[in-house]
Amino acid sequence: MAVAIALAGMLIMPDATFRSFAVGAMLAVAATVLASMTLLPAVLGLMGDRINWLSIPFAGQRGKQGAGSGRAWDAVVRTVVARPVVSAVVTGAILVGAAAPLLGMNLGNVGIASLPKDSDSRHAFDVLNREFSDGVLAAEIVVDAPQIGDPAVMDAIGELETALAGDGFFGTAVLETNEAGDLALLTVAMPGDFSSAESRAALERLRGDYVPAAFDGVSAGVYVGGPTAEAVDAVATQRHYLPLVFAFVLGCSFLLLLVVFRSIVVPLKAVVMNLLSVGAAYGILVLVFQEGIGAGLLGFREAPVIESWLPLFLFAILFGLSMDYHVFLLSRIKEHYDQTGDNAASVAHGLRSTASIITGAAVIMVAVFAGMASGDLVVFQQVGFGLAVAVILDATVIRMVLVPASMELLGDWNWYFPSWLEWLPKVNIEGTRGAAPAAGPVAAGTSPAVVPAP
């Protein structure tokens, strides 16, 4: 559900690429859920005990409660619960510090110059750029006027051509008009990489100085396109819509957790912790690729920008995955708390019973993402590294330290649910359990009834 909410947030973006990805990913998620609810139970029923055939020797002895990894996670939770203030402050400071470089994130599009120098594409670009002084790229200037042949319009186009010729960066300009005579296309060559700082500065001069000066007082619409303009406009669009997507995803997740766990504190903490995880991943991404800290050691290529679509993509994927982890962990804690009323014991039980599964799933995903980051293309290196770092932080620092520390500090306040929200529907994500006692929400400061676990 959390993944679906995160992907649905991408539908807010006007970019057709994001919408296509979101629809395709949501269909894949729906197919996976359907298979897990139908095909998987059928296969397990057919296999029976034979499902344990070909198990790996000496790996994970089943049925020994508290053995092996259970004792290790017990030691972790005992340490965290014994010093919740220190654990929360230290881990929080680490995550905030890791997220700090996010303020200097430079969004853009990784250009041709970021390709490996021995690649055919990079070699062809360098040759064309060297042999053709005008460059292989161009800015496309569209003039929309009632009549292109109008003297005022033609004078404005001529003034614009003169300004471009005197700029020193732009190359040859070619003018074309349509048969109806109401549109003109002025194509101006631009040397170098479309994503370079020089190209972006030239586009800013074209849009901010040359076009307004040439067409001042002229009845015509002027639009500047081309690869550099597309990259700049894409970044501007995503900066505008990112807060809307974040607000939609965070709001829906908060409401979902509010209904499921019947607590105000739990969803607030979930939102904050997931933002810390994503923010830390963003910050480390900036440190490695923009600042180049450790890039050579890790085998990555330094880049002046972070791919413009990457923050939204990472947020959607990571928020969905981390929220699933959070619900999985908290459902175990809440289940035990409803049975015993012991907050500390419930935190230990939830962490011990889910730690191995969460860690195992995280290891699998990190291995997949590391494979994605092992290529030569900077874009895939950024995607794979960002996903891997965020999953590691979320499955260790967040789930295993910050969550239990915060729950220990807040105690019964974790499950505070005001009476004026009692009208909300009661949803049990684990289904109806006939043997479990019915336990209403516990207000902060009260002593819940202790009911022996069945």
Domains of the chain: 119-231 (3.30.70.100)
Least confident among 259-268, 271-280, 430-439, 444-453: 444-453
Query: Does residue 63 register a pLDDT over 60?
Result: no
Least confident among 203-212, 219-228, 250-259, 322-331: 322-331
Least confident among 60-64, 207-211, 367-371, 446-450: 446-450
pLDDT of residue 107: 84
Residue 137 bridge partners (DSSP): 190
pLDDT of residue 55: 66
pLDDT in tens, 255-268: 888 888 888 998 89
Structure tokens at 448: 């819940």
pLDDT of residue 212: 93
Stretch (H or E) spanning 452:
none
- The model's confidence at residue 49, banded by pLDDT at 50, 70 and 90, is confident
pLDDT in tens, 415-443: 888 888 888 887 765 555 444 444 444 44
Cα–Cα distance measured from residue 452 to residue 50, given in angstroms and rounded to the nearest whole number: 35
Cα–Cα distance measured from residue 305 to residue 194, given in angstroms and rounded to the nearest whole number: 13
Residue 142 bridge partners (DSSP): 185, 223
Cα–Cα distance measured from residue 158 to residue 143, given in angstroms and rounded to the nearest whole number: 12
Least confident among 54-63, 253-262, 274-283: 54-63
Query: Does residue 104 register a pLDDT over 50?
Result: yes
Most confident among 55-69, 88-102, 325-339 (mean pLDDT)? 88-102
Query: Does residue 114 register a pLDDT over 80?
Result: no
pLDDT of residue 453: 40
The percent of residues in the chain predicted with pLDDT above 70, rounded, is: 83
pLDDT in tens, 384-406: 999 899 888 888 888 888 888 88
Query: Does residue 138 register a pLDDT over 80?
Result: yes
List the strands of the sheet with 173-177, edge to edge. 173-177, 183-190, 137-144, 221-225
The residue-averaged pLDDT of 202-223 equals 92
341: left (phi over 0), alpha (psi -120 to 50) or beta: left
- The model's confidence at residue 227, banded by pLDDT at 50, 70 and 90, is confident
Query: Does residue 65 register a pLDDT over 60?
Result: no
Residues 205 and 172: beta-carbon distance below 8 Å: no
The residue-averaged pLDDT of 376-388 equals 88
pLDDT of residue 362: 85
Task: Give the global pTM.
Answer: 0.77
Radius of gyration in angstroms for the set of CA atoms belonging to the chain, rounded to a whole number: 28
pLDDT of residue 430: 57
